Structure 1
Amino acid sequence: MKNLQKPIRNEFFSTKVDDYDDNNNAEVEELLLQGLEKKSLLGWSLYKYKGHWCSLDLLRPIIRCEKYFKARDTDVILATLPKSGTTWLKALTFSIINRSQYPLDENPLLTSNPHALIPFLERNIYRENEKPDLDHIPEPRIFSTHVHYKLLPTSIMESKCRVIHICRNPLDQFISLWHFKNLISTSGSISLDEFLEAYCEGTHDYGPFWEHVLGYWNAYLKNPEKVLFLKYEDLKKDVNFNVKMIAEFIGYPFSLEEEKMGLIDKIIKLCSFEKLKNLKVNQVGSLDSSLKNSYFFRNGEIGDWVNYLTPAMVERIEKVVREEFRGSGLMF
């Protein structure tokens, strides 16, 4: 099946709050009047929508997407919290689906950042347009999102499209997110202590983190044919096994011939942290004037948190994890 999903326009990644004029303004204004607002560590306001925190410039696109996105049965939705393996999952999924369209030495990943190949529904597509024309995108369409499972459009739930979620050990995800927030901050550096407080309160973009992860975990337990739940650590431990599982889940299994010719390992190498990080596009390119491609390739290792967190900080996060994940069956 032909898929020629092209890099999206850089301006889709603008972080500016626009003066939207669409049909959900009244709904947003009513929400703002409820007073469920907190000032984020980056200087902008966060608003609680259906129990989850998001910035104003994302609130409108999230509501637009909820209302107007029409999923197709062949769609693939990549759902993650920021800094949980999103970039890697995008690269792998794109390469799996498009492996018959591009020779590996012509894969668009060599000249485009993974985020430019697979757009975010709320951060890119519905940010500029209330009802964007998505019909021209060849099947299977691949989209990504950072929103909670409860905020996904109804059409995703009602269609046969597949959802892949990847999560990460909260200690590593916290440190990676802290580094990223400081890279994009325009209001000064954020201390580890103050970010820890917001993280454990759940008052951060797309938070609370535990509700986000548990939402997809429970959806996976209820319908594993619809939702695939991955852990970053498991993917790192056995990439080959998990790449085959992803391919089978989305309906693009590898043939015995492809396995014998080493195609899986070649895709893994192409999408590896080291390979992507050292590409010119990810060293000097950018998604917009303030978001450099290099920001998505800081470390990628498991256990980096030991270099930053004190025992008291670790206990604080682990206490939240123990309490919030109790009885779920999900462990890190």
Structure 2
Amino acid sequence: MLKNCGGLDGWSMKLKSKLDIYQHTLQQATSKTTPIMSERPKLLEFEGIMLTHIFTDNWEKVKNFKARPDDILIATYPKAGTTWLSEIVDQLYFGEMEGRKPNIPIYERVPFLEICMEGLEKGTDAVERLPTSPRLIKTHLPVQLVPKSFWEQNCRVLYVARNPKDNLVSFYHFDRMNKVQPEAGPWDKYIDKFNSGQLVFGSWYDHVQGWWNKRETYPRMLYLFYEDMNEDLSREISRISSFLGLSPSEKEKERVTGKTKFETMKSNSMADYSTFDMMDQSISPFMRKGTVGDWKNHFTVAQNAEFDEEYKRRMEKSTLAFRMEI
């Protein structure tokens, strides 16, 4: 039995009732999530970073979101292992919860706080509708734009960062296939957009360093690296469990590790976004390779040398370091 500081052992009938209502609502919905988009959104500058209207249209409710003390915030720059970490945390808390049906997509189990688009429930509303406790909440916001209530309520926060070359490659293919993202454009120009922060959620450099620096003043944060997770998933799951105050048995850790391996998740329709119609996975799968070092198949020698110079310049004063291969 999983033990934790939130007390999962004695769930009340009230929670079961909420789950029944929640699952009934899901059964009444269509089998596909179908946002309505007439054309791809355009980038706009908002609060000093680049976003699209999808992430600004509900801003007052996002900004004033009321976190609860037991909320768990999962934060990343886009395409840095968000779904992977979300699935791990969800499995640790609720993977074997009695009465929970298996056909709930990850984006409903771990709502995207700032998303707001026609045909899709607002992220803030989806969080409020969660029947489970703790609530698992996803964000791509840079640290300075995270609702203050998360810090005020002393919530646990997990952040995962990915080396910039692989992150760039993954984001590029994501923008190619995702109709709710701006057009990717040609690869060489995409590198320039990444380095200049002209992508949704702004600069990778500012994002990873901003969250890294937050650790100095906010101890209830665990900063993870995609490369470490790829190298030894079981080890990192143990670190995550310890941070969350969970004490899974070895058998339970093995179960979670098995459920969250890349190939397992890639074949899981509740984790691979195959139920989200706005992603054209014939162009590129949402879960593409899940490796470290795939950037070598994309960067030319000249592009790599130029990128290394930019990386060195932008990171020279930071204690944050990344592995480009393992």
TM over 0.5: yes
Q: 1:44-55 alignment to 2 at 5 Å?
A: 44-55=41-52
Q: 1:160-199 alignment to 2 at 5 Å?
A: 160-185=154-179, 190-199=185-194
- Distance in 2, Cα, partners of 1:287 & 1:116: 11
Whether contact under 8 Å (2:54, 2:117) holds in the other structure is no
Q: 2:211 aligns with which of 216, 223, 226?
A: 216
- Distance in 2, Cα, partners of 1:177 & 1:240: 26
**2:118 is equivalent to residue 122 of structure 1:** no
- Distance in 2, Cα, partners of 1:136 & 1:281: 17
Whether contact under 8 Å (2:82, 2:160) holds in the other structure is yes
TM-score (norm 2): 0.80
Partner of 1:278: 267
- Distance in 2, Cα, partners of 1:292 & 1:112: 20
**2:290 is equivalent to residue 296 of structure 1:** no
CA drift of 1:102 comes to 4.8
- Distance in 2, Cα, partners of 1:204 & 1:324: 17
CA drift of 1:83 comes to 0.9
Measured against aligned partners, the alpha-carbon deviations of 1:269-303 in whole angstroms (never above 9, x if no partner) come to: 11111112123556793223546698321110110
Structure having the larger proportion of residues in helix: 1
CA drift of 1:156 comes to 0.6
- Distance in 2, Cα, partners of 1:136 & 1:307: 41
Q: 2:54 aligns with which of 53, 57, 60?
A: 57
What amino acid maps onto 1:324 in structure 2?
R
What amino acid maps onto 2:277 in structure 1?
D
CA drift of 1:58 comes to 1.3
Partner of 1:80: 76
Q: 2:254 aligns with which of 256, 265, 283?
A: 265
Contiguous gaps of at least 5 residues in structure 1: 18-41
What amino acid maps onto 1:180 in structure 2?
F
**2:202 is equivalent to residue 207 of structure 1:** yes
Partner of 2:143: 149
Query: Per the alignment, do residues 173 and 122 of structure 1 end up closer, same or farther by CA in structure 2, a change over 3 Å counting?
Result: same
Query: Per the alignment, do residues 15 and 243 of structure 1 end up closer, same or farther by CA in structure 2, a change over 3 Å counting?
Result: farther
**2:235 is equivalent to residue 250 of structure 1:** no
Whether contact under 8 Å (2:112, 2:123) holds in the other structure is no
Query: Per the alignment, do residues 291 and 158 of structure 1 end up closer, same or farther by CA in structure 2, a change over 3 Å counting?
Result: farther
Query: Per the alignment, do residues 130 and 117 of structure 1 end up closer, same or farther by CA in structure 2, a change over 3 Å counting?
Result: closer
Segment of structure 1 superposing worse, 136-145 or 56-65 = 56-65
Considering only aligned residues, what root-mean-square deviation do their CA atoms show, in Å? 3.2
- Distance in 2, Cα, partners of 1:236 & 1:15: 35
Identity %: 26
Partner of 2:313: 323
Query: Per the alignment, do residues 281 and 330 of structure 1 end up closer, same or farther by CA in structure 2, a change over 3 Å counting?
Result: closer
What amino acid maps onto 2:67 in structure 1?
A
Whether contact under 8 Å (1:202, 1:209) holds in the other structure is yes
Contiguous gaps of at least 5 residues in structure 2: 1-7
Give the secondary structure class of the aligned counterpart of 2:137.
strand
Partner of 2:35: 14
How many equivalent pairs are there?
Answer: 297
TM-score (norm 1): 0.79
CA drift of 1:253 comes to 2.7
What amino acid maps onto 1:61 in structure 2?
N
Whether contact under 8 Å (2:55, 2:116) holds in the other structure is no
